[in-house]
Structure 1
Amino acid sequence: MDTSAIPTAAAHHLDTIVEVTATDCPELPPVWVIAHVQAESSWDPTAFSRDRNGGAAGLYQLNEANWTTAGGSAWTSAPPASQDDVLQPDVHLHRAIPWICVNLRSATAHLEATGKPTSPLDAMLVCHIAGCGRVTGSATGIPVAGEASCDTTCADLVTTYIQRVHDLVDRYTAARGPVPVDDLPAPTPFTGPSTGCTATDPTGGRCLTPATRHAHDEVIRVFGTPGPTAAIRSAGCWDAHAWNPTSDHSQGRACDYFTDAAGIFPAGRELETGWRLASWLRTHADPLKIRYIIWQGRIWSPTTADTGGWGRPYTGGGVYDPTDATGGHFDHIHVSFQE
């Protein structure tokens, strides 16, 4: 997130946003909260708009029924009075973000069950602007005219709304890339022979190639043993990856390094540690025999030039959801080795 680009009001409540998403909805990136609220109320906590349901109020523009369902108090008037909790920014965020997350999780479950191609975050937006029935009643999860009781005006509203939030997410997202790692020791180059998956996997898997085991040992030497309070929270190398049998993990040629809990979009120290590790691996790709690195929705290899940032956008290869914390490799650094 580019904190210099987000609205001033959002910056004032950033700690609340990060706290609530991390605690109640780790699959919801804070930058999406900021963009979504901007699209709804322009971060005006007193915003009110009249509609057939009596009106929508506050940062997320919730009607009274949805606000009380989220745990808020009934309004004393319409528009709400200045003392009503729906107009209090921190109270609103603490109530509304978990309510939004219910829609996100419901949409996610539906998309996974039906195989519809829409991303869960986009489906969440459809739920908010047009109702979740437009997700379940459409072929893709985003209605076109004639689907799910959505006419042309409805369909245009939905697509315009989604694009608006996407544009804001892009505006508020900082361009990131490799960070300086000159203060970290260089790894010992791998010089051993390639003998297949014959080395012990210290992360508990079946086996690793010698090059992978060597690189993992060097990572641990430089960044320390993984643990709850360590720079690297956890690590995993060999895995059967039954859902992706061609994965380098199942051949003992890849490792994943988490700087925070799985499923969480890291921020602060954990995010910076991730960039340090990814940058160190990239800097020393040749002596470590690195084939490619995936991190923060980007994939980089020694033979591919950077495109629009660090590496190029990671698409998930038709196997993973690139907008998901784990599927997009936001919560961990994946590194694959040549041998």
Structure 2
Amino acid sequence: MRTVTAAVAVLLCGVVLLGGALGDASDAGAVTGQGLDVDALPETARASLADLEAARARICPPLPLSWLVAEVQAKSGWDPRAYSTAGAAGLLQLMPSTWVEGGGETGWDADESPEPAHPVWDPARHFAIALPWMCRNLSLVAAHLRDTGKAASALDALAVCHIAGCSRVTGSVTGIPVAGEAGCGEACAREVRDYLSAIHGFVEDYTAAPAVSSAGEAAPYPGGASGCTVADPTGTGGCVTPATAWMLSQFSTTFGKRSTSCWDAHAWNPTSDHPKGKGCDVFYGRAGTFPNDEDVALGWQAAGWLQANADRLRVSYVIWQGRIWSRSRATAGWRAYTGGGVYNAEDPTGGHYDHIHVSMAE
């Protein structure tokens, strides 16, 4: 179901964007690093895309652009003058109290639509007020999910916050309420499910596949399974498997030398492939920071090449820009990466925004 709009987004007691609760739009090159298929977007979305990406990059880089675009589509259908009877207004359906708390000059009477000249209708101003609240909610629910071990992804929990309130995240077993949890009845649970389904559908529709054709095919790994028997060519002093060494050689031949690290004890993660010599990190930009658009685009080229050559190179999975692709789940494409309960997926390094992680099957 992909027809959720502003009217649905306020059915649940009018709770929208409760942060306190817990270039040129036609220039596809400006956003291709985020994996967004600009041509698939509605015309109204393309008109405000530059404002949205500017606000996201400045205020909340961990929030994937494709997810944010999907949330706007689900909330307002990209109608900047969308208004609900509960008092929510604009592209991300801000309530008047949220607008004022976020720094908006003046609010509006929740029983009446804002004046035609009110800045809530202006996309650039709207995003500047909404994005800090969204980013705060994202950080809060991500911390809650990590601390409690709940199964929901941080992005799904963020969406629950926006449509039903963050108490529905903290008061439910998984972070996604079912009927009878956290004051959520059957209608509430159904609306949450439909809302999440709509967002996921829009993300799928609007996410572009990485372009990899120019990188060519890798030479197939000629060996078989083996242990950590080859000196790590990245200079860690450890070892890698022959398949890992082959992948590194093919990678450097294709993309040149990049800052790369493979073997590491990784004592904090007992399931890591690094101490087995089967995991490597390839950095784009400066470690610990979110990369610029050029490095993100280059990283997607490399990540897509690893995906396309997974069988030839014996790649098991790849993580990049808050997404993970696994050879065992190839038909699912690039999925949201949640950190697996070990890493902070909103952090530049924990979310694999500053580096590509590649794990080998042998």
**TM-score of the superposition, structure 2-length normalised?**
0.73
What aligned pairs does 1:165-244 form with structure 2 within 5 A after superposition? 165-176=199-210, 178-182=212-216, 196-197=228-229, 199-200=231-232, 202=234, 204=236, 206-209=238-241, 212-213=244-245, 215-216=247-248, 219-220=251-252, 222-226=254-258, 234-244=259-269
Residues 93-108 of structure 1 correspond to what in structure 2 (within 5 A)? 93-108=127-142
The one-letter code of the counterpart of 1:307 is T
Alignment of 1:248-259 (within 5 A): 248-259=273-284
Deviation at 1:73, TM superposition (A): 1.6
Q: Among residues 34, 42, 65, which one is paired with 1:7 in the alignment?
A: 42
Q: Is the 8 A contact 1:316 1:327 kept in 2?
A: no
Does structure 1 conserve the Cα–Cα contact (< 8 Å) formed by 2:171 and 2:182? yes
- Structure number with the bigger relative contact order (C-alpha 8 A, sep ≥ 6) is 2
**Residue type at the aligned position of 2:284:** T
Give the drift of 1:314.
8.6
For 2:288 and 2:176, the matched residues in 1 are separated by 25
Deviations 1:53-92 (A, max 9, x none): xx11111111111111111121366421222221110111
| Equivalent residue number for residue 294 of structure 1 | 318
The answer for unaligned runs of 5 or more in structure 2 is: 1-35
1:333 is aligned to 356
Matching residue of 1:144: 178
1:181 Cα offset (Å) = 2.0
Map of 2:101 onto structure 1: 69
Amino acid at match of 1:30: L
Deviations 1:262-316 (A, max 9, x none): 68887853344234324555677788x544342452223xxx795366xx86988
Relative to structure 1, is the Cα distance of residues 133 and 30 closer, same or farther in structure 2, using a 3 angstrom cutoff?
same
Relative to its length, the structure with more helix (as a share) is 2
TM superposition shift of 1:236:
2.3
Quote the Cα distance in structure 2 between the aligned partners of 1:262 and 1:22.
17
SS at match of 2:281: strand
| Letter matched to residue 191 of structure 2 | L
Separation in 2 of the partners of 1:205 and 1:181?
30
Give 1:158's match in structure 2, choosing from 188, 192, 212: 192
Give 1:230's aligned residue: none
Tell me the TM-score normalized by structure 1: 0.78
Q: Give 2:168's aligned residue.
A: 134
The one-letter code sitting in structure 1 at the alignment partner of 2:60 is C
Relative to structure 1, the CA distance from residue 9 to residue 270 in structure 2 (aligned partners, 3 Å threshold; closer, same or farther) is farther
Given that residues 123 and 142 in structure 1 are in contact (C-alpha distance below 8 angstroms), is that contact kept between their aligned partners in structure 2? Answer: yes
Cross-structure match for 2:121: 87
* Inter-partner Cα distance in structure 2 for 1:93 and 1:165: 18
Q: How does 1:261-276 map to 2 (within 5 A)?
A: 268-276=293-301
TM-superposed deviation, 1:172:
1.3
Q: Aligned pair 1:48/2:83, yes or no?
A: yes
Tell me by how many angstroms 1:252 deviates. 2.3
CA contact (8 A) 1:26 1:263 kept: no
Give me the whole-angstrom Cα distance separating, in 1, the residues matched to 2:155 and 2:64.
9
CA pair 9-217 structure 1, distance change in 2 beyond 3 A: same
Of 278-287 and 168-177, the range deviating more from structure 2: 278-287
Contact 1:31 / 1:169 at 8 angstroms: preserved in 2? Answer: yes
CA-atom RMSD in angstroms: 3.8
1:37 to 69, 72, 84: 72
2-side partners of 1:25 and 1:282: how far apart?
Answer: 28
Q: Quick one: structure 1 residues 314 and 10, their matched pair in 2 at CA, closer, same or farther if it must change by over 3 Å?
A: closer
Q: 2:67 corresponds to which letter in structure 1?
A: W
Per the TM alignment, residue 36 of structure 1 is displaced from its structure 2 partner at its CA by: 0.6
Mapping for residues 312-327 of structure 1, pairs under 5 Å: none
Q: How far apart are residue 177 of structure 1 and its match?
A: 5.9
Looking at structure 1, the residues matched to 65 and 270 of structure 2 have their Cα atoms a distance apart, in angstroms, of 33
> Secondary structure of the equivalent of 2:214?
coil
SS at match of 2:326: strand
Contact 1:235 1:256 in 2 (8 A): yes
